[in-house]
Amino acid sequence: MPVLNELGAARRIVIKVGSALLVGPDGAAHGAWLADFAADLARLRARGQQVLVVSSGAVALGRRRLGLGKRALSLPEKQAAAAAGQSALMRAWEEALGPHGFACAQVLLTRDDTETRRRWLNARATVETLLSLGVIPVVNENDTVVTEEIRVGDNDRLSARVAQLVGAEALVLLSDVEGLYTADPRRDPTATLIPRVARLTPQIEAMAGGANAAAGVGTGGMATKLEAARIASQAGCATVITLGTRSGPLAAIEAGAPATVIEPATTPRAAYKAWIGGSLSPAGALTVDAGAAAAVARGKSLLAAGVRSVDGRFDKGECVRVLDPDGREIARGLVRYESGHAARICGLKSAAIEAAIGYTSGPLVHADDLALAAHAAISG
Ligand code: GLU
């Protein structure tokens, strides 16, 4: 399958832009590159695709603002540089995207936000809202508040987590290398670019080791790119590694410019359901009547009317077990009401929910957020 299909067919695309592209040798933002790239993004948006950008450059731009030069920085200095540079970074994106009529929004994430379920759900809800409003989220790690031990550390992996967060079908890593080579092309004239990787095998990973691991300026070399690709692949997202310095890098790869595509191992939907099904500690349980159990098994949403009892304490968005009248777990799902409200509406028809608790969020658990026991290999 050519790259064209992966990019062309994706509903949501996450694009990672590295510092080397964004920040010129003088330490200032690369306005011309950004303006050109914004036109490339506008083309995707005009085709009806949603885009998210993961942008590095805060530390690099902050160095200049704070007069830190090119020397090695201590962690507090890096954090200070990130704090000073992040606003310059956003200004650069606003100046580039504004002329195309796009609003952008700063989203700063930490590793906790992608690993703690409640924070993950929160971040996801915010990013979904931004996308539904037509905004282009510009994501970076919240470097100012994270220490070395708890950082994601590089935006390659962060961008894969973002792709997972939003269920993107394509992740593009724009860097200063054309893709994955069989060996380091600067040393080995026989090295060839690998256009497509169906599965990340140890052999493929070995190609990213050694000298190739250091390829690319910025934090991440080829090894972190493949790690990002692994996260993305398991989340149902294809990864494209390509050179970002070309004019219109996304249009270029669609027109056949060199790139490496790492194929997804699943679909975003299946990955999302597996994530729900694999929840280690559901916060509560909903016992449903036979009719609702049958409806859930057919892939329908769980309505309050079919729920007999609510156990446990949980917040809106948390994972709960769905039990049939015999107490057997038939599914897990993310609940749309906190436990107190869930208890008050169970047994009620949808039309009566608002009168009971003052609002409605639709079904107790939406079909999209339900993972059936039979399909999701729930461990019990
Ligand atoms: N978050 C860092 C920054 O904005 C960049 C990390 C990376 O490039 O991988 O400066």
Domain ranges for the chain: 3-268, 280-372
Q: What does the pLDDT read at residue 317?
A: 86
Strand order in the sheet with 50-55: 104-109, 136-141, 50-55, 12-17, 170-175, 238-243, 260-262, 196-197
pLDDT in tens, 268-299: 899 989 888 887 688 899 999 999 999 999 99
CATH superfamily of 280-372: PUA domain (2.30.130.10)
pLDDT at 3: 59
d(CA 308, CA 306): 7
What's the pTM value of the predicted model, to 2 decimals?
0.86
**377 pLDDT more than 50:** no
Instruction: Choose between 299 and 186: higher pLDDT.
Output: 299
Return left, alpha or beta for 213; rule: phi > 0 is left, psi -120 to 50 is alpha, else beta. Answer: alpha
* Percent of the chain topping pLDDT 90: 71
Domain spanning 3-268, CATH architecture: 3-Layer(aba) Sandwich (3.40)
Nearest atom within ligand 1 for CA of residue 156: 9
Q: What percent of the chain has pLDDT over 70?
A: 93
Report the greatest alpha carbon distance in the chain. Answer: 73
Place of tokens 């590694």: 241
Question: Residue 89 CA: which ligand 1 atom is closest?
Answer: 4
Q: What angle do CA 242, 245, 236 make, to 5 degrees?
A: 25
Instruction: List the 329-334 sheet strands across, edge first.
Output: 307-312, 284-288, 319-323, 329-334, 370-372
CB-defined site of ligand 1, < 6 Å? 18-19, 56-60, 82, 140-141, 143, 154-155, 218-220
Provide CB contacts within 8 A for 71, sequence distance 6+: none
